[in-house]
């Protein structure tokens, strides 16, 4: 056929619908979408040259797929079986890889590796990787999700806490309180090598311990300011002392303190003392829902900024750096957290 000649191809409405689906699919094969577009343009009366210009295929390729469609319909647009030796891995082996990858390893490991799967099945790691990829299986990856809380008062508790976040009582101070325990003062056995052009900061893998500390922190929800105290260990006496200091530091203001269900927080001496304070109200997060406590967000920031790959030559140095960070964060970076939710609402 001459290059610019127009030759309309007849397409049934059913085939046209399938072709449009192929051509518009973002997940299907690109080459199948291009072939579908060739036939749709041909059915619209476009010339081979016009089709070639719009699809990027050569004129010879456009003519070939027009011919294939004329001879075999939609099936003519699919790839034909290629010559060559048959697949060395049969369906039974593939099923064995999938079954093993989705089972618990018998040797105490928590997950299968590609290499261990290959050794167990008796095929190469590349073949195992290809089979897992085709089945969209990823034994190396774990996703976490929040299960439904068994707390019968979940709705009331979370509504009260979210209400304090969104619409606090006039003049009241809403504070999220929690602890980060077992913060280790780790020192390295050799001096660190500073970062240079082409070389990252380097630390020895061996270290010395100089003790641990526990950080009690209080986050003022609507200003983002932090107050904190480092203690050797947190028991109900230590926690009550911290709560009393927080209460005294905010005179003549209603104080709403959000806590998780740690036994220290619910000790009878803590509850009895709080019950005698008219300005103070304790709010406990629902069971398995400590993520409602906004200080947990700050602890994540703190761990990334201060604790990751840090070096301290003494416990006192660790505590001094923690308190310096809290002061500088409160004076320079403090602001309310803006929560966003992009998932789907939970079913009732």
Which DSSP string do the residues of 241-295 spell out, in sequence order? HHHHHHHHTSTTS-EEEEE---TTTT-HHHHHHHHT-TTEEEEEPPTT-GGGSTH
pLDDT reading at 346 higher than 60: no
**pLDDT band at 191; cut points 50, 70, 90:** confident
Q: What would the mean pLDDT of 32-39 be, rounded to a whole number?
A: 88
Give me the chain's average pLDDT, please: 87
How many angstroms separate the CA atoms of 314 and 212, rounded?
10
pLDDT reading at 82 higher than 90: no
pLDDT reading at 153 higher than 70: yes
Please tell me the predicted confidence (pLDDT) of residue 320.
96
Most confident range (mean pLDDT) of 24-33, 129-138, 189-198 is: 129-138
Could you tell me what percent of the chain has a pLDDT over 90?
43
Go through 4-35 and write b for each residue having 16 or more CB atoms within 10 A of its CB, e for each that does not.
Answer: eeeeebebeeebeebbeebbeeeeeeeebbbb
Which residue did the predictor score with more confidence, 100 or 194?
100
How many angstroms separate the CA atoms of 261 and 283, rounded?
10
How many angstroms separate the CA atoms of 101 and 111, rounded?
8
- The candidate with the shortest Cα–Cα distance to 337, out of 305, 309, 295, is 295
Q: What would the mean pLDDT of 45-73 be, rounded to a whole number?
A: 88
Q: What would the mean pLDDT of 25-54 be, rounded to a whole number?
A: 84
CA dihedral 38→41→45→49, nearest 10 degrees, is -60
Q: What would the mean pLDDT of 241-247 be, rounded to a whole number?
A: 96
Q: Which residue has the tokens 């939710």?
A: 341
pLDDT reading at 348 higher than 50: no
Please tell me the predicted confidence (pLDDT) of residue 84.
63
Q: What would the mean pLDDT of 128-150 be, rounded to a whole number?
A: 84
Specify whether the CB–CB gap between 210 and 185 falls below 8 A: yes
Q: What would the mean pLDDT of 283-295 be, rounded to a whole number?
A: 92
């Amino acid at each position: 056929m001459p290059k610019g000649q127009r030759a309309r191809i007849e397409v049934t409405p059913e085939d046209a619908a399938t072709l449009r689906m192929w051509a518009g699919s973002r997940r299907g094969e690109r080459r199948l979408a291009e072939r579908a577009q060739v036939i749709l343009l041909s059915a619209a009366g476009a010339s081979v040259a016009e089709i070639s210009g719009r699809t990027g295929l050569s004129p010879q390729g456009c003519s070939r797929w027009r011919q294939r469609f004329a001879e075999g319909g939609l099936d003519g647009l699919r790839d034909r079986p290629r010559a060559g030796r048959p697949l060395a891995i049969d369906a039974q082996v593939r099923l064995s890889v999938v079954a093993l990858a989705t089972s618990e390893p018998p040797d105490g490991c928590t997950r299968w590796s590609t290499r261990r799967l290959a050794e167990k099945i008796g095929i190469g790691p590349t073949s195992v990787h290809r089979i897992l990829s085709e089945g969209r299986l990823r034994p190396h990856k774990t996703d976490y999700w929040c299960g439904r809380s068994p707390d019968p008062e979940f709705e009331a508790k979370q509504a009260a806490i979210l209400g304090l976040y969104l619409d606090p009582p006039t003049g009241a101070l809403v504070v999220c309180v929690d602890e980060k325990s077992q913060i280790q003062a780790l020192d390295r056995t050799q001096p660190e090598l500073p970062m240079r052009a082409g070389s990252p900061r380097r630390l020895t893998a061996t270290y010395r311990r100089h003790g641990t500390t526990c950080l009690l922190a209080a986050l003022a929800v609507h200003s983002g300011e932090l107050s904190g105290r480092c203690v050797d260990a947190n028991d109900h006496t230590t926690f009550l002392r911290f709560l009393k200091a927080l209460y005294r530091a905010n005179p003549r203001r209603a104080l709403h303190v959000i806590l998780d269900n740690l036994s220290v927080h619910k000790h009878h001496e803590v509850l009895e003392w709080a019950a005698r304070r008219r300005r103070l109200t304790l709010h406990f997060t629902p069971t398995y829902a400590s993520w409602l406590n906004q200080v947990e967000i700050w602890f994540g920031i703190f761990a990334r900024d201060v604790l990751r790959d840090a070096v301290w030559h003494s416990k006192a140095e660790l505590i001094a750096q923690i308190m310096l960070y809290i002061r500088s964060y409160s004076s320079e970076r403090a602001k309310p957290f803006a929560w966003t939710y992009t998932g789907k609402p939970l079913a009732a």
